[in-house]
Amino acid sequence: MPSYQQFKLPDVGEGLTEADVAEWRVAVGDTVDVNQVIVEIETAKSLVELPVPWAGVVTELLVREGETVPVGTPIVVIDVDPGGAAADDGAPAASSTSGDVLVGSGTKEGSTARRRRRSAPAAEPAAQDPAAAPGVPAPQTPPAERPDRAQAAPAAGRAAVSPAVLAKPPVRKLAKDLGVDLTAVAATGPGGIVTREDVLAHAKRSEAQELATYPDDDKPWLADGVVSANGRQTRVPVRSVRRRTAEAMVSSAFTAPHVTVFHTVDVSRSMKLVARLKEDRAFGDVRVTPLLLAAKALLLAVRRHPEINASWDDESQEIVYKHYINLGIAAATPRGLVVPNIKDAHRLDLHELATAIAGLTATARAGRTTPKDMTDGTVTITNVGVFGIDTGTPILNPGESAILALGAIRQQPWVHKGKVKPRWVTQLALSFDHRLVDGELGARVLADVARLLENPDMGLVWS
């Protein structure tokens, strides 16, 4: 006789209560193996691939793509003893819990635009990624009729790198981190060698081309929306990252009394240091940016003023001082704003910090940030300057005491050594929780960040 097992939505991270079914990787009638990825879910923090704990045949998909279900809800039925009886001998009908008929891939006919954009991958276990957690299959890359914006920046290690390509090990690592196939990169180095600049230029062009492939009437963030009869509006359900971001920002804004202080600073010496480090062979495998120096400056400033590294515990009415710094990096992704953090960032040297930032942002843009990466942040930095914005008043990440905004760096007239000269200038903004941080402490922290960016040599004294 057939033996049916219901696979229930598990809790894949701290505090998860519900998730969206983003994409089924199997259809009714498919044979699956133990630990084969069968579905991709979207939590409030990341995209997660779920493996099935049994081998057998898929007999019913209980949840449609795009549907939000609580943890513990049965989502698929597996016949773990398909040889026990004929397929039609008591097997459950392939229908959803809401009465919609499921066809073919298990989605309702005429389902999401995302499903139309890409077909289901072959039902084979993914090759194990050495960097993945033990026992968890590595991400599978589904074949696509057109690239999905949510996969525009593949997770580290997913690009195929051919050994026949001439490239130094640091360049190969950079290509791997950015998801760039070295065989597709135009080499400009001597003797046909691929340089770091070639990889970065290729990654930039690829991203621009992917964005350009979407016609105005089929943007991915509108894919699941409903267009009004007159075509003048599209209503999109608020789910996952966008909903979590909204809830967190409202909670933060109306719980923690925000104060923001500003500082305009000459960063010409930092810009010269960035240029020198880009030419330094020791930094050839990482991306050196003003954000990197600003992040390091913030870490040093927090170490000099550890009282700012704290959180407010409402339940116990205590201030919790942290003896570690988990540095959050605000990352804009196709799914919305996420703020993963670098654990124990205060222990990293400049090169290690650059590597951590690159890996964190690439993973975030690929939608592969884990719930663990999003928790226990202490302070955050956001780079609004990449959008040409001078400054802003950032809202605190819930549970954190401070957030630094780095504005656009521009050449401006500046009094330097008694003369007006063109200098590289930026504006910094530090928001902090006034329950924890008074104005003097906040001002001192921001002044130290500015001092380090104005004169990076001070980092040798303070580190």
pLDDT band of residue 85 (cuts 50, 70, 90) is low
Do 376 and 325 share a structural domain? Answer: yes
Do 156 and 95 share a structural domain? Answer: no
What gap in Å lies between CA 205 and CA 429, rounded to an integer?
A: 32
Which pLDDT does position 139 carry in this prediction? 38
Where does a domain end: 113, 142, 171?
142
CATH number at residue 295: 3.30.559.10
Do 256 and 113 share a structural domain? Answer: no
Please check whether residue 283 lies inside any domain of the structure.
Answer: yes
pLDDT digits (tens, 9 = 90+) for 373-398: 888 999 999 999 988 999 999 988 88
Do 327 and 305 share a structural domain? Answer: yes
Residue 6, number of CB atoms within 10 A of its CB: 12
* Whether residue 449 has pLDDT greater than 90: yes
Do 154 and 274 share a structural domain? Answer: no
Cα angle 15, 17, 19; round to 5 = 115
Answer with the residue of higher pLDDT: 132 or 438.
438
Do 137 and 150 share a structural domain? Answer: no
Please check whether residue 233 lies inside any domain of the structure.
Answer: no
Do 305 and 260 share a structural domain? Answer: yes
CATH number at residue 137: 2.40.50.100
Q: Output the pTM of the full model.
A: 0.55
Average pLDDT, the chain: 77
* Mean pLDDT score, 181-194: 86
**Do residues 199 and 175 touch, judged by C-beta distance below 8 A?**
yes
Q: What Cα–Cα distance (Å) separates residue 185 from each residue in 165, 174, 194?
A: 9, 13, 7
Q: What percent of the chain has pLDDT over 90?
A: 41
Annotation marks residue 346 as catalytic: no
* Mean pLDDT score, 253-257: 72
Which pLDDT does position 248 carry in this prediction? 67
Residue 155, number of CB atoms within 10 A of its CB: 25
Beta-carbon contacts of 432 under 8 Å, excluding residues fewer than 6 positions away, are 258, 259, 260, 308, 396, 401, 402, 403, 441, 442, 445
Do 401 and 267 share a structural domain? Answer: yes
pLDDT digits (tens, 9 = 90+) for 154-171: 333 333 333 467 877 778
Please check whether residue 98 lies inside any domain of the structure.
Answer: yes
Do 246 and 218 share a structural domain? Answer: no
pLDDT band of residue 408 (cuts 50, 70, 90) is very high
Q: What Cα–Cα distance (Å) separates residue 361 from each residue in 90, 316, 356, 456?
A: 49, 35, 9, 24
Which domain does 107 fall in, by range?
A: 4-142
**Do residues 2 and 91 touch, judged by C-beta distance below 8 A?**
yes
**Do residues 285 and 174 touch, judged by C-beta distance below 8 A?**
yes
Distance separating the N- and C-terminal Cα atoms of the chain: 69
Do 332 and 443 share a structural domain? Answer: yes
Which pLDDT does position 242 carry in this prediction? 60
- Total domains in the chain come to 3
Please check whether residue 337 lies inside any domain of the structure.
Answer: yes
Where does a domain end: 89, 111, 142?
142
What gap in Å lies between CA 202 and CA 174, rounded to an integer?
A: 12
pLDDT band of residue 215 (cuts 50, 70, 90) is very low
Please check whether residue 261 lies inside any domain of the structure.
Answer: yes
* Whether residue 76 has pLDDT greater than 70: yes
Answer with the residue of higher pLDDT: 384 or 126.
384
Do 344 and 299 share a structural domain? Answer: yes
**Do residues 361 and 383 touch, judged by C-beta distance below 8 A?**
no
Where does a domain end: 142, 162, 196?
142
What gap in Å lies between CA 396 and CA 249, rounded to an integer?
A: 8
**Which of 152-166, 216-230, 260-274, 336-350 is most confident?**
260-274
Please check whether residue 235 lies inside any domain of the structure.
Answer: no
